[in-house]
Structure 1
Amino acid sequence: MTDYNICIGMPTVEALHLGKPVTIQREQNPAAIIRADYAPTARKCPPYCIQPMQLAPGVETLGELEVLDCLKRIREGERNLMVVDSRTPDWYAKGTIPGAANIPYAQNMAGEATDLPGLKRTLIESFGVKETAGAYDFSNACTLAVFCNGPWCGQTPNYIRTLLSLGYPASKLKWYRGGMQDWCSLGLTVI
């Protein structure tokens, strides 16, 4: 039993992280504070500019309850859905949302892909895209719920814009705009 529920009727959510069950809940210690990585409020723009609420036409912006629903659906066996942490491996190692796959988007400070061939491989190897005669078939592509560090971070917006430019359907792309900053500020489990 928890004193600090996620919302009414939802004390916890069970997710799978690297094949093992993890319970996601709110922090139970009322004296807890946000992680130091997400405490700074002054971030130089560019590159750390506040991102819009609506990233691109057809790309749904998610909140925490929608991300938790994705994680729950994945745990229940939905195979065509992924929660993707687009941050670099060093940030992922500091802590991520339980159940998120770290599939980073390598970009330069202008937001341009620095490993476009690698991203194209990811489409096929991780996201269920088929390549036929040099064209991509997205009919069986996974729906992706993608996040990075927060509303000031451009990694996921650039990742999603690149996927869209390659033909990934907007209807299969979801953006958790709040990212790790909002997740941590709400005291949700980090692994």
Structure 2
Amino acid sequence: MKQPAWLIGATLLAAAGVVGAEEMKVKVTPDLESVTVMHEGEEVVIKRDQDPDGRIAEDYTQTSRECPPFCVQPMQLLPGVHTIGEIELLEMLADRAMGEDEFLLIDSRTPDWFTKGTIPSAQNIPWTQLHPESSTFDPFVAETLLIDEFDVKKTGGLFDFREAKKLVLFCNGPWCGQSPTNIRALVGMGYPADKIYWYRGGMQLWHTLGLTTVKP
């Protein structure tokens, strides 16, 4: 039986000594210790915190956030959009590292949140750049993102999404509306829903599981 690329990648990393000489006590799954990605030109190993005294970051300890705007998001955001969890995201990152999958990982939060830490290999495209009702929305910036970053073509004044990139979006967690706003804006522009993946757990669950973060 052929092993998935993420498992092969994890095995190769362990054999090369990247994961470490000793087996991790806190793994992602019984078969997966870590995933290595490129972030700003450097390798970053995504793994769970090995410190038994580790605790969640203070920004994510609050349990009461006023709604709106911090309302609980549905599991299925829009028809066709894929909702994924941590395992699926890590598998996608590992497959991409092995050259078998190409996508953009997008942190939809505003820059003040992004600079506190993000998922390795993510790029910041705040919801304000794509949402037409945002006070800072600029149609030229939005169109530039579609063409230059997402590989959307424009012919005769119309967007062609047939070769558009696969996108994975996230924000602060199930109570955060920033990535859902980005996703709805993209689908509203005609972006194929089946090319959009939503990591609903976002930074809240990423921190809760003690997974690696990086600061820009």
Count of residue pairs brought into register by the alignment: 190
Tell me how far 1:80 sits from its aligned partner: 3.5
CA distance in 2, matches of 1:71, 1:87: 20
Amino acid at match of 1:150: G
Moved over 6 A (4+): none
* Structure number with larger C-alpha Rg: 2
Matched residue SS, 2:211: coil
Over the aligned positions, Cα root-mean-square deviation in angstroms equals 1.8
Tell me how far 1:139 sits from its aligned partner: 1.1
Aligned residue number for residue 68 of structure 2: 46
Matches within 5 A, 1:1-191: 1-78=23-100, 80-106=102-128, 112-113=133-134, 114-117=136-139, 118-191=141-214
Matched residue SS, 1:15: strand
Matched residue SS, 2:186: helix
Matched residue SS, 1:22: strand
TM-score (norm: length of structure 2): 0.83
CA distance in 1, matches of 2:44, 2:126: 22
Matched residue SS, 2:115: helix
Aligned residue number for residue 20 of structure 2: none
CA distance in 1, matches of 2:161, 2:41: 26
Amino acid at match of 1:164: V
| CA deviation map 1:12-52 (0-9, x unaligned) | 11111112111010000111110011110000000000000
Matched residue SS, 2:105: strand
Assess, with a 3 A threshold, how the Cα gap between structure 1 residues 140 and 94 changes in structure 2: closer, same or farther.
same
Tell me how far 1:74 sits from its aligned partner: 2.3
Unaligned 5+ runs, structure 2: 1-22
Tell me how far 1:91 sits from its aligned partner: 1.0
Work out whether residues 15 and 99 of structure 1, in 8 Å CA contact, stay in contact via their aligned partners in 2: yes
Work out whether residues 13 and 23 of structure 1, in 8 Å CA contact, stay in contact via their aligned partners in 2: yes
Unaligned 5+ runs, structure 1: none
TM-score (norm: length of structure 1): 0.94
Work out whether residues 59 and 175 of structure 1, in 8 Å CA contact, stay in contact via their aligned partners in 2: yes
Amino acid at match of 1:147: F
Work out whether residues 132 and 185 of structure 2, in 8 Å CA contact, stay in contact via their aligned partners in 1: no
Work out whether residues 26 and 187 of structure 1, in 8 Å CA contact, stay in contact via their aligned partners in 2: yes
Tell me how far 1:119 sits from its aligned partner: 2.0
CA distance in 1, matches of 2:195, 2:152: 12
CA distance in 1, matches of 2:59, 2:200: 17
